[in-house]
Amino acid sequence: MWDALWINASLATMRDGRYSSIEDGVLAVANGRIAYVGPRADLPIAPERAASFVHDARGAWITPGLVDCHTHLVYGGSRAREFEMRLEGASYEDIARSGGGILSTMRATRDAAVADLLASARIRLDRLAAEGVTTCEIKSGYGLNCDTELKQLRVARALEASANVAIRTTLLAAHALPPEFSGRPDEYVALVTEEIIPAAARAGLADAVDAFCEHIAFTPEQTARVFEAARAHGLNVKLHADQLSDLGGAALAAHHHALSADHLEYTSEAGVAALARAGTVAVLLPGAFYFLREKQLPPIEALRRHHVPIAISTDCNPGSSPTTSILLMLNMACTLFRLTPEEALAGTTIHAARALGLAEDRGVLAVGRRADFALWAVASPGELAYAMGANPLVSVVRGGR
Ligand SMILES: [Zn+2]
């Protein structure tokens, strides 16, 4: 006997990154894992004799639970006023003078009590969960000192206990240069590699280490030092790469066998080929592209040609992508980047799981995978990307519950 079974459903299994649909399908779970996926006609016995509970999906489509593989959703303060000022004509200098920008988020995050960080992040995470997200990655990167980076990671870990979402944490201490190290970036990188990474690893607070490789952040050489320290502590790496210029970030990420290289607007063909060779996932972030009104499109055709797995994520953050809608990102991946709805859904399931090192565990509907899935009131899975602003979620199952 299985624990539970769903009938009257169509299944988008996302096997091999395709819908791989099963009409009139059955999905069964046992011990928190998927125990059966297939057409009802192939079920050897009557559903009510196969499982303790039989759920009628009433014609819903079932997809794997969505995976948001790149967020910065634990932070203090708000940048809404900054958004307003910019639209009222303020320059970047005006905003910086009035205390805006990433350093305002740093200050607010340093000052915030753990309970307040937890409460504000919980609201954002609940919004993602309400759109079928069952696994979410959360980065630090607004502390820029050891105590606050670890505080952010602890809050991220604590969210898993209270919200109905699995959390993966990423240490992003190399996000920006804190003001106390102004003009001394190498000394800050030394703090990251010699103090913050070891402390996060010792406390078991980070699943991976990320960095922002860009002319406004850290050089490829500094990024490489961060990656070497991460590897020395047994941590996977990821990279914010080639968002505003081509510093060879994708190739650098590939060289270090990064789980993912993210943004990639300015990545060259050679960078794409390097990602393909390394098996690194390309994470595209249409929310930031939209919010910053960027013009340079990521190299979609080259990514397809080289068979690089493409993931899509919210990049939920206060400065450049203040969104908590993964479904809107599916739409934007199609409208802005010209992905197909099938590619976009693969980008928030199978390929997003791979970007977190979870490819063998979740992201597809297949026997043995973690029983994370979402039921949707749609006539076809393409509707998830098509119906901008809609939320057709019926219910979510995580770990079989
Ligand atoms: Zn980001």
DSSP string for 14-78: -GGGS--EEEEEEEEEETTEEEEEEEGGG-SS-HHHHEEEEEE-TT-EEEEPEEE-------SS-
Nearest to 70 by CA among 363, 379, 323, 397: 323
Average pLDDT over residues 349-375: 98
pLDDT confidence of residue 95: 81
Ligand 1: centre distance to CA 222 (Å): 18
State the pLDDT confidence band at 389, using cuts at 50, 70 and 90: very high
* pLDDT tens by residue, 259-272: 999 999 999 999 99
Distances (CA, A) of 77 to 138, 142, 178, 212, 274: 17, 11, 17, 22, 38
SS3 call for 257: coil
Ligand 1: centre distance to CA 9 (Å): 36
Ligand 1: centre distance to CA 17 (Å): 24
Check whether 299 has a pLDDT greater than 90. yes
Ligand 1: centre distance to CA 297 (Å): 17
Cβ 227 vs Cβ 261: under 8 Å = no
Ligand 1: centre distance to CA 190 (Å): 22
Ligand 1: centre distance to CA 51 (Å): 43
State the pLDDT confidence band at 112, using cuts at 50, 70 and 90: very high
Average pLDDT over residues 14-34: 98
pLDDT confidence of residue 162: 85
Average pLDDT over residues 150-174: 96
How far apart are the C-alpha atoms of 10 and 21, rounded to whole Å? 7
Ligand 1: centre distance to CA 72 (Å): 6
Average pLDDT over residues 68-75: 98
State the pLDDT confidence band at 113, using cuts at 50, 70 and 90: very high
Average pLDDT over residues 51-78: 97
pLDDT confidence of residue 77: 95
* pLDDT tens by residue, 310-337: 999 999 999 999 999 999 999 999 999 9
Ligand 1: centre distance to CA 239 (Å): 9
pLDDT confidence of residue 98: 78
Nearest to 344 by CA among 327, 321, 364, 365: 327
Instruction: Determine the residue type at 134.
Output: T
Mention every residue, 6+ apart, whose C-beta is less than 8 A from residue 232: none
Ligand 1: centre distance to CA 118 (Å): 19
How far apart are the C-alpha atoms of 44 and 351, rounded to whole Å? 32
Check whether 91 has a pLDDT greater than 90. no
Ligand 1: centre distance to CA 29 (Å): 34
State the pLDDT confidence band at 94, using cuts at 50, 70 and 90: confident
Ligand 1: centre distance to CA 53 (Å): 41
pLDDT confidence of residue 5: 97
pLDDT confidence of residue 161: 87
How far apart are the C-alpha atoms of 12 and 61, rounded to whole Å? 7
Check whether 67 has a pLDDT greater than 90. yes
How far apart are the C-alpha atoms of 392 and 100, rounded to whole Å? 37
pLDDT confidence of residue 52: 96
Strands of 66-68's sheet in order across? 66-68, 133-139, 166-174, 208-213, 236-241, 260-263, 281-284, 310-312
Angle between helices 114-129 and 146-162 (to 10 degrees): 50
* pLDDT tens by residue, 224-236: 999 999 999 999 9
C-alpha dihedral, 223 to 214 to 185 to 149, nearest 10°? -70
Ligand 1: centre distance to CA 263 (Å): 8
Ligand 1: centre distance to CA 387 (Å): 25
Ligand 1: centre distance to CA 21 (Å): 32
H/E segment holding residue 291? helix 286-291
Ligand 1: centre distance to CA 174 (Å): 12
State the pLDDT confidence band at 97, using cuts at 50, 70 and 90: confident
State the pLDDT confidence band at 96, using cuts at 50, 70 and 90: confident
Average pLDDT of the chain, as a whole number: 96
What global pTM score does this model have?
Answer: 0.97
Check whether 64 has a pLDDT greater than 90. yes
Check whether 74 has a pLDDT greater than 90. yes
State the pLDDT confidence band at 342, using cuts at 50, 70 and 90: very high
For ion ligand 1, residues whose CB falls within 5 Å: 315
Ligand 1: centre distance to CA 315 (Å): 5
Cα 95 off chain centre by: 29
Nearest to 316 by CA among 251, 262, 280, 376: 262
